[in-house]
Structures are given as C-alpha cells and as structure tokens.
Structure 1
C-alpha cells in the first residue's frame, strides 16, 4: 500500500518511471530511500539527513536530475535544505517536486530551502510541483524558500506549480541575475475550499543586459485566498516584465502586489495584472457543444492553467 501511494505521488509531481531510470534521489519521510548518480552528477547527503548537495560538472548536456520529496506521515514536519551547483556551460533539467499523503487528522509540513547556483554559460530548467491528498480534516502545509544566483551568460527557466490539495503554502523566491543572465518564470497555482497561498518573487537584476520575464496564472475557488508579491529591481541596463492573471470564483480572494524599482536609467520594467471571473460567453460557447456548465468551467480552467 505504501509503495502504491509513493508511486501515485511521484506520478503527480513528476514521472515515477523516469525517476527510477534516471539520476535521482527520493526522500521519503525525512530519509533517502533511493539514489542513483552518474559520472557527471554527484549527489551527497548533508549531515543528519538534512538535505542534499547536488553538483553537476561543467559541459554536461541533456541530463535530468530528479530530487522529489514524499511525506506520508501525519503529525510530521520535514525540513530540507538543498545546495545545488550547475557547472559552467551545462544544460540540465532539475525536478524538485514534493507530494504529501495525509490520511489522518493532524498536520503534515514540508519546509524546503533550495540554494542554487547556475554558473557561467549554463542553462537550467527548474521544475517545482506541490501536490497533496488525504482526509479533509488533516492539514497539508508547504513552505519553501529558494535562493538562486544566475551568473554571466547563463539562462534559468523555472516552473512553479501548485496542483491541488495544499491547505497552506508560503513560497519565497529570490533570484540574482548577473551580466547577460536571462530568466523566465512560469507560475501556476490552484486553490479551493479554505486553502491559502502566499507567493513572493523577488528578482535583482544587477548585471548589464540581464532580463527577467514572470508569467503567473492562478485560479481561486470557494473561500480560498491567494496573495502575490512581485518585485523587479533593476540595478543595471536590463529588462523585466511581469504578467499576472487570476480567475476568481465564489467567495475567493486574490491580491496582487507589484513593485518595480530601478536605479539605472537604462532599466526597462513592466508589470501587468488582471483579476476577474470566467467570461459567460466562454461558458455558453462550450455548453452549446454539449458540455454541462461544470464541465465547461473545468475545461476553461484547465486551459488557463496549462
């Protein structure tokens, strides 16, 4: 039963078969239960199993590293601190999802800290998915802090996804961009019932000709609450763009707080935000094709968050 639960969670936040057939470390309830490394990727446990050190060598191409976290114990808090280095001129995908299964009445908490360095000329695609399941009375809580430094001529692409089931979540992401460093962030969040999420993204563009693009999509249903803080700080010749769109339903509440700061005359920063309901015309069009109103809404929401 436990193995089946683990596999289902892994498939929600990643792909179980790809994990086991690739470079990976699976952490379950505070302990590493499976690990595969390679000549080009080193994975080392920190003292007291508090996290990982992941080192990718220079000039490594086409490698995917999986470091999922699984929590199935109730009344349990797992604190993880990972340090990750992507070597110069490497091109790597890193998938660091977390999934919780809590079938009890108490809370399960994931506190994760990632410190990542993307070295000169490297490319990193970083995917972080959060998913939870279990009883309606148990609390599934996710708190993450991510600190990333993107060095000269390096590129970072981030996907931050909260799929479903997370009762409370606080996400803090701080990124420093050096000369010619480029960043693209895609954030997708879904909340329902009385779930709450706070997402804080702070980008410091200290390097000349650095760029940042943030695209955030969220859906808030029922009585859930979402708060977004976006900060672009242009300290050199740079360009930054934030696009934040939210669909709000029922009695939900969404707050978007942008902050643009420039200390260089050649910094170009833009923020766009929109919060609103699903257009009735879209629902009616799908219903005319034979869908029920609920099916039409689900189809629109899935497309919006895709």
Structure 2
C-alpha cells in the first residue's frame, strides 16, 4: 500500500496523482508497491540482482512506462538495475525518478542503474526527476547511472531534473550512437545549503550523421557545489553540441568542464559554458513591480530553470 507521504512524493517525481495508465512499476522502501503490464510492454523482475527488465515490442506507439521509486524510511540504502529493451520503430515515453522523505538520523540512498537498448528508428522520451524532503539529520543521496545504446536512425530525448532537497548526487551518463541516431539531453538542477551535485556525461558519436545536444541549466545557492563534466567524442561524420549555463549565488561553487574529442575530419563539435550571478538590473526591475528582493530572485531562478 502507498501511504500519504509516498503519494505526495510520487506527485513530485512522476506527476502521478492516481495510478498511471499503461505499464508501470512502483517501488517503495525497497519493495514492489504495484505493477502493470500491457500487450506491448512487459515488466519482469530480475533474478540475479535487484531490478527489472522492461521489454517493449517493435512498433509500439504512443504508450508509456512509469517506474518511480519512493524512500520514506530513514536508513535505506539500495542499488537497483533496470534494463529497457525498446523495439524497432517504437515511439514511447518513459517516466522514472526517485523521491526520498527522510526525517531520521540515518542516511537514505538510492542508486539506480538504467540501461537503454534503443532499436532502429525507435523514438524515446525519457523523464527522470529527483526530489528530497524531510527535517531529519540523515542525508538524502541519489546516484543515478544511465547507459544508452542507440541503433541506426533512433532518437532519444532525456529530461533530467533535480530541483529540491537532494544532499548529494553523482549523475553519470554514457551514450553510444550508431549512424543517424540523435540524442538530446536537457538537464535542470538546483542546489542549496551544503548540497553537492556532479553531472558526468560521455557521448560517443560512432556512426555517420549521428548527433548529440547536451545542455545543462543550473542554479547553485548558499554553500553548495556543482560540477558539470560533459565529453562528446566524434568518431565519424557527425555533429555534437554541449552547453552549461549556470547562475551562482551566495558562497556556492560551480565547475564546468566541457570536452570535445574529434577523431574524424568531418566531426563538427561545439561547446559553450557560461557562469554568472543574477544581474542587478533584473532584480531592480522586478522590485519596481512590487516584489521583494527575495521574491524577485525566486522569480528569476524559476524562469531560468523552466
């Protein structure tokens, strides 16, 4: 059964207000709290490690898979392995995410390892949201690992969001793209207090006309620390772009490390990075409309991270 705390967290990480339509697997405090399969999407528990296999039949269109995780007990630490096998010519949405409610003194940690095997000409939209809350001294720790293997002509759009309450996170993403494959990543990140967040991307463009666009927008407040490390490797005629756009506030620290590696004369690769504070004139303009300085800052940050 899902309690009220867990329901609220599910709303935060997966926009779930009721049981989702289509295929889903809900995990709460280390155990399955609900599962549904469809004629085209099968979900099976692994037998060797904790996790699930999600198999999507070729040609599946306009279906969704929800696999949220909720931790509402202090002291839980788990590593979960989820593998997605996405058939050729599919067009699907996958919604993941983890929320931690920790009111205890022990750390709670979820490390989710997601592997995607995207078939030829398949299209995937993947949404991953992380959220933390609770007034205990125990930390809320999330270390997601993502591996993406894209066959010819496939495309994947990844929305990676972490806006509140996660004390420590190391997010690693590795992608391998065949000819004509296309990967788009949009990361949005907010840290505050003494939180730490590291994002590490490695994208290898192995086939002709493969392309990648990896963009991070982040805000670091108070004494928090962020590092964005993005590497694009062009091994064929391809195009790649990586960008970090960040706002720094208080005593925060931000490190941006864009890397490009061209191993082919027709590899066209671009990187951009910008870190700065909120412009004073932006604050003043909003204050003339009746907002306090704090409200003006919040308005700017919210707009930046949308």
Same fold (TM over 0.5): yes
Q: Quote the offset at 1:19 in angstroms.
A: 4.3
Distance 1:254 1:225 in 2: 6
Which structure 1 residue ranges, 4+ long, deviate > 4 Å from structure 2? none
Contact 2:104 2:136 in 1 (8 A): no
Q: Quote the offset at 1:72 in angstroms.
A: 1.2
The residue matched to 1:169 in structure 2 has which SS? strand
Residue 1 of structure 2 is aligned to residue 17 of structure 1: no
Task: Please provide the CA RMSD for this pair.
Answer: 1.2
Q: Quote the offset at 1:271 in angstroms.
A: 0.4
Distance 1:287 1:141 in 2: 37
The residue matched to 2:302 in structure 1 has which SS? helix
The equivalent residue for 1:188 is 188
Cα distance per residue 1:229-282 (max 9 Å; x no partner)? 100000000000112100000000000011100110000000000000001111
Cα distance per residue 1:122-181 (max 9 Å; x no partner)? 000011110010125120001111111011000010011112100000010000010000
Tell me whether 18-27 or 72-81 shows the greater mean CA deviation. Answer: 18-27
Distance 2:138 2:223 in 1: 17
Contact 1:19 1:66 in 2 (8 A): no
Distance 1:222 1:32 in 2: 37
Tell me whether 162-171 or 127-136 shows the greater mean CA deviation. Answer: 127-136
Residue 151 of structure 2 is aligned to residue 151 of structure 1: yes
Q: Quote the offset at 1:17 in angstroms.
A: 3.3
For residues 2 and 157 of structure 1, do their structure 2 counterparts lie closer, same or farther at Cα, with a shift above 3 Å needed? closer
The equivalent residue for 1:247 is 247
Residue 282 of structure 2 is aligned to residue 286 of structure 1: no
Contact 2:27 2:69 in 1 (8 A): yes
The residue matched to 2:11 in structure 1 has which SS? helix
Distance 1:140 1:60 in 2: 36
Distance 1:79 1:102 in 2: 18
The equivalent residue for 1:89 is 89
TM alignment of 1:134-173, pairs within 5 A:
134-173=134-173
Distance 2:15 2:195 in 1: 26
The equivalent residue for 1:132 is 132
Q: Quote the offset at 1:22 in angstroms.
A: 3.0
Contact 2:10 2:17 in 1 (8 A): no
The residue matched to 1:272 in structure 2 has which SS? strand
Q: Quote the offset at 1:18 in angstroms.
A: 5.5
TM-score normalised by length of structure 2: 0.98
The equivalent residue for 1:104 is 104
Distance 1:179 1:99 in 2: 36
The equivalent residue for 2:208 is 208
The residue matched to 1:55 in structure 2 has which SS? strand
The residue matched to 1:228 in structure 2 has which SS? strand
